[in-house]
Structure 1
Amino acid sequence: MATFQLEFVSPEKLLLSRPVEMALLPAADGQMGVLPGHAPMIVALRGGVISVREGGVETESLFVPGGFAEITPTRVTVLADEATPVAQLSRNEAEQRITAAEKVLAELNAEGATPEKREAAMARVLAARAMLAAAQSA
């Protein structure tokens, strides 16, 4: 089966770099499957799980709270501030993130913050909720 190079980069290090058959990405507009030969594009990622398929089976599942992916016909580069294997997610940590993010959002709403700030805060709430959902499914 044809493959493409998948690279997963965080600010600290290169987390993953290997040929894969398929990657499922949590794109901002919805779940997105990438196969070899995909049209070039750059997509924003929302909080969710990136799944990697090799040899016809899922070999890796990583939670990201957001980021970007650059897609070319032969390579996908994922840029994210953090990535956690789904098996290592903590429900307690996810619940704490939800509480903290909802508090910040409420404060921004109360003080009449700009729509951009409120939107960024809402994205953090949604990412924390996605983290909890991923932790519960693991």
Structure 2
Amino acid sequence: MTTIRCDIVSAEAEIFRGEATLVVVTGEVGELGIAPRHAPLITRLKPGKVVVTQANGEKLDFAISGGILEVQPQVVTILADTAIRADEIDEEKVRKAKEEAERVLAGRGEAMDVAEAQKKMAEVAAQLQALERLRKNLKH
């Protein structure tokens, strides 16, 4: 089985480095699946999920707040503004951030503007989706 190296890095740290058979990310126009021998590519990423399928079939879930995807012949690099593994997400903190963003979008908050609230909603939705996938995988 062929693999491609996958590096996920944020401004703070290297989040993941390993071999993958498939990397799925949320691009500006939808989901992208990157497999070994994919054509070179650079594109912007929206806040969303990243799913890395390792050579042993195990899937690792991450949530990112946006960034850049670069595909080279031997490596896929995800340069994320922020990135977190699904199993490290603080669900209570994410739900509070979602509630605050919802208040702003409903016109009842003053802490952030609407564009920032919309961005925060996309980030927390990605994190909650990653948590759900993690829970589903743990049940199987």
**TM-score range for the pair, normalised by the shorter chain length:** 0.7 to 0.9
Q: Call closer, same or farther: CA 1:44–1:74 in 2, change over 3 Å.
A: same
Identify the residue that residue 119 of structure 2 maps to in structure 1.
123
Structure 1 residue runs of 5 or longer lacking an equivalent are 111-116
Structure 2 residue runs of 5 or longer lacking an equivalent are 136-140
Q: Using the TM superposition, name which of 23-32 and 56-65 deviates more.
A: 56-65
The code of the aligned residue for 2:86 comes to V
Q: CA deviation at 1:134?
A: 2.6
> What SS does the corresponding residue of 1:17 show, helix, strand or coil?
strand
Identify the residue that residue 17 of structure 1 maps to in structure 2.
17
> What SS does the corresponding residue of 2:93 show, helix, strand or coil?
helix
Query: How many Å separate the matches in 2 of 1:134 and 1:17?
Result: 19
Identify the residue that residue 49 of structure 2 maps to in structure 1.
49
Preserved CA contact (<8 Å) 1:105 1:122: yes
The code of the aligned residue for 2:98 comes to I
Identify the residue that residue 81 of structure 2 maps to in structure 1.
81
Query: How many Å separate the matches in 2 of 1:59 and 1:135?
Result: 13
Identify the residue that residue 63 of structure 2 maps to in structure 1.
63
The code of the aligned residue for 2:102 comes to E
What is the TM-score when the length of structure 2 is the normalising length? 0.75
Q: CA deviation at 1:48?
A: 2.1
Q: CA deviation at 1:56?
A: 4.8
What is the TM-score when the length of structure 1 is the normalising length? 0.76
Query: How many Å separate the matches in 2 of 1:100 and 1:121?
Result: 8
Identity %: 27
> What SS does the corresponding residue of 2:58 show, helix, strand or coil?
strand
Query: How many Å separate the matches in 2 of 1:30 and 1:66?
Result: 13
Identify the residue that residue 36 of structure 2 maps to in structure 1.
36
> What SS does the corresponding residue of 1:77 show, helix, strand or coil?
strand
Q: Call closer, same or farther: CA 1:121–1:43 in 2, change over 3 Å.
A: farther
Report the number of matched residues. 130
> What SS does the corresponding residue of 1:39 show, helix, strand or coil?
coil
